[in-house]
Structure 1
Amino acid sequence: MSKIYVLHENNEWTIHLQKRLDELQLPYELWHLDEGIIDLSSEPPEGVFYNRISASSHTRDHRFAPEFTEAVLAWLALHNRKVINGMRALRLELSKVNQYTALNACGIATPKTLAAVGKKQIIEAAQTLNQSSFITKHNRAGKGQGVQLFHSIEALKDYVYGPNFDEPVDGITLVQQYIEAPEPYIIRHEFINGEFLYAVKVDTSEGFELCPADACAIDDKFCPMGEDSAPVAGVDHPKFEILSNYRPAFIELFESFMKANKIEVAGIESITDKDGKVYTYDVNTNTNYNSDAEEKAQKFAMLALAKYLEKEREKL
């Protein structure tokens, strides 16, 4: 009998999907790909393989999980197995440069960004960007790694040549235009089977002086998967709110982007500047969901995901 195979490296981010698979009594197996062996002369089992490897795996001491996952995906491709979020999705997950170029190719605006390798080159990139305020971030990131806001080149030099410089795992630092939103929030757009499911508004009014554009990644407590969606102090709404009657025209561009890049499941984050221009700054292909916001809206993405995986398994 074929199964649903979940490729991952973080048990905490997988348990919510497990619960839905159990609830629907579906046959599944978890493959934790921090370590392992592949016999390339063997055949993979029959089933649907769902890739949930994260760009932040190295922060959990799973440094080579993405590389091992790529090897597994190559093995699965050789045997024509059905893969959800395959090789292209993995490469976009691991590189914001790949994300931005792919988004731009589909007509989706991203913040102006320069990629630099080397400390001297980071400074030169900021000088070339020529913005009064700008941010740095890691190319292969997650959890807000390397995100810093600067208001001068001198402040950047102090950071880059100081003891607190955060070296990117792939060596690439991004120097990026700072998008200042007139209201403190970003919106994360969730997609399953390449189709828009819902959007969640993420309040960034508490603790996000650093960079509103990375609001739900700077600290674990603001991750959309977090259980705490209580109102922020002084604010009469929760940090995570699923929007109703929301479908702006650019959703079609997002869906076209996902189709072009063979991504089936993702959360795409955007921010709007004071002139009303929307910038897309992150594509998360191992997206998670906030349970309190879903309960209030009565929309359940992990349930929809489990049903989608089963539908793909049934096609086999």
Structure 2
Amino acid sequence: MEPKIFVLHENEEWTKPLFDALEELGVPYEDWFVNEGTIDLSEVPPEGVFYNRMSASSHTRGHRYAPELTSAVLAWLEGHGRTVLNGNHALDLEVNKARQYSALEAHGIRTPKTIVTVGKDQLLRAAKKMDQPFITKHNRAGKGLGVQLFHSVEALENYVNSPEFEVPVDGITLLQQYIESSDSTITRCEFIDGKFFYAVHVDTSEGFELCPADACTIDGDFCMTTENTKEKFKILSGFNHSIIDQYESFLQEHDIHFAGIEFIRNQEGELFTYDINTNTNYNAEAEAKVGLYGMKQVAKALANKIQLVTI
């Protein structure tokens, strides 16, 4: 049987652009939707290339245990020596921002000051140690889950004791130094097969919950669909910075093949890296303006990988 690409995911809308690109190239693939199911560990996996696109925000779509099941699947595949792209280590970083920050700092990449907390009392105690303003965010997040800006401990206390307080799915709330950008933008660097593809400026002036995918929904707000009146996502021409080499080295060290890494500059121009998305998406409108297409490039990379698989 001819080897093919197996795409592990839990969001059909986010994955459709990749399937379209694979079909355009004539690359055989199988849609492996991971939510509920079974894996017989005594069986031998099929031959092929396995691309993990599991998301940290899967629980917001009713797929609470999809990452845990995916982890078991990836361990099974890796144990049989299959070619796995964005394997278990990438998944571990995807669903655990605290581990992301520790890994980035260990690689010499600066991140904002962050305190890991479990429990409301501990969160409030930690806030007293943090310079103001500060933000909260969920440890297992995606889509900016739980991101709130506070200018005082009292404001945080009011939120924590209100019905609006969101308990993270893993119980861990991160308290983080707020980095104020001079122009209300962040920069997201996209990497395909471990190499820099392009950088995109993202306008954050309307809020923190931002996602580049055309089909994603965040309460109907902030996320690009068919209109881009404020050019929320703008791909930068000729972006060049020494941080790219650091990012590529980091991805190689952690065996991550596809990722979007986000950074922000403070008003003094200092750069802070604050997020790694190993289930990266791309904005079609921004890409059309410059003629660069992330999913098509991903499909080409997968096509090259399948050529190396022999049965």
Q: TM-score, normalised by structure 2?
A: 0.95
Which residue in 2 is equivalent to 1:200?
200
1:183 and 2:176 matched = no
What per-residue deviation string (whole Å, max 9, x for no partner) do you get for residues 127-171 of structure 1?
122x12000000001121111111111111111122111000000
1:16–1:216 distance in 2 versus 1, CA, 3 Å: closer
Which residue in 2 is equivalent to 1:283?
276
Which one of 251, 255, 258 corresponds to residue 251 of structure 2?
A: 258
Which residue in 1 is equivalent to 2:308?
315
Give secondary structure in 2 for the equivalent of 1:128: coil
Q: Given residue 228 of structure 2, which amino acid in structure 1 is its aligned partner?
A: A
1:89 and 2:90 matched = yes
Does the 8 A contact of 2:143 with 2:210 survive in 1?
Answer: no
1:48–1:260 distance in 2 versus 1, CA, 3 Å: same
1:128 and 2:121 matched = no
Q: Given residue 19 of structure 1, which amino acid in structure 2 is its aligned partner?
A: D
What per-residue deviation string (whole Å, max 9, x for no partner) do you get for residues 208-230 of structure 1?
2xx5xx6548946544xx33352
Distance in 2 (CA, whole Å) between partners of 1:288 and 1:301 is 8
The two structures, once aligned, show a CA RMSD in angstroms of 1.4
TM-aligned CA deviation for residue 125 of structure 1:
1.0
What per-residue deviation string (whole Å, max 9, x for no partner) do you get for residues 260-307 of structure 1?
111000000111100100111110000000001111110111111001
Identical positions, percent:
55
Q: Given residue 193 of structure 2, which amino acid in structure 1 is its aligned partner?
A: N
TM-aligned CA deviation for residue 231 of structure 1:
2.3
Which residue in 2 is equivalent to 1:118?
119
Does the 8 A contact of 1:188 with 1:267 survive in 2?
Answer: yes
Give secondary structure in 1 for the equivalent of 2:165: coil
Give secondary structure in 2 for the equivalent of 1:242: strand
Q: Given residue 127 of structure 2, which amino acid in structure 1 is its aligned partner?
A: A
1:157 and 2:157 matched = yes
- Aligned counterparts, 1:207-218, within 5 A: 207-208=206-207, 211=208, 215-216=210-211
1:140 and 2:140 matched = yes
Which residue in 1 is equivalent to 2:288?
295
Give secondary structure in 2 for the equivalent of 1:149: strand
Give secondary structure in 2 for the equivalent of 1:14: helix
Distance in 2 (CA, whole Å) between partners of 1:122 and 1:230 is 37
Distance in 1 (CA, whole Å) between partners of 2:94 and 2:17 is 21
Paired positions, count: 303
Which residue in 2 is equivalent to 1:235?
none
1:273 and 2:266 matched = yes
What per-residue deviation string (whole Å, max 9, x for no partner) do you get for residues 87-106 of structure 1?
11000000000110111111
Distance in 1 (CA, whole Å) between partners of 2:176 and 2:112 is 7
Which residue in 2 is equivalent to 1:12?
13
Q: TM-score, normalised by structure 1?
A: 0.93
Which residue in 1 is equivalent to 2:238?
245
What per-residue deviation string (whole Å, max 9, x for no partner) do you get for residues 12-51 of structure 1?
1000000001101110001101011111110110000000
Give secondary structure in 2 for the equivalent of 1:120: helix
Give secondary structure in 2 for the equivalent of 1:307: helix
Which one of 220, 225, 231 corresponds to residue 227 of structure 1?
A: 225
What per-residue deviation string (whole Å, max 9, x for no partner) do you get for residues 39-81 of structure 1?
1110110000000000000000000000000000011011100
Which structure 1 segments of 5+ residues have no match?
233-237
Does the 8 A contact of 1:221 with 1:228 survive in 2?
Answer: no
Distance in 2 (CA, whole Å) between partners of 1:201 and 1:222 is 15
Distance in 2 (CA, whole Å) between partners of 1:216 and 1:179 is 19
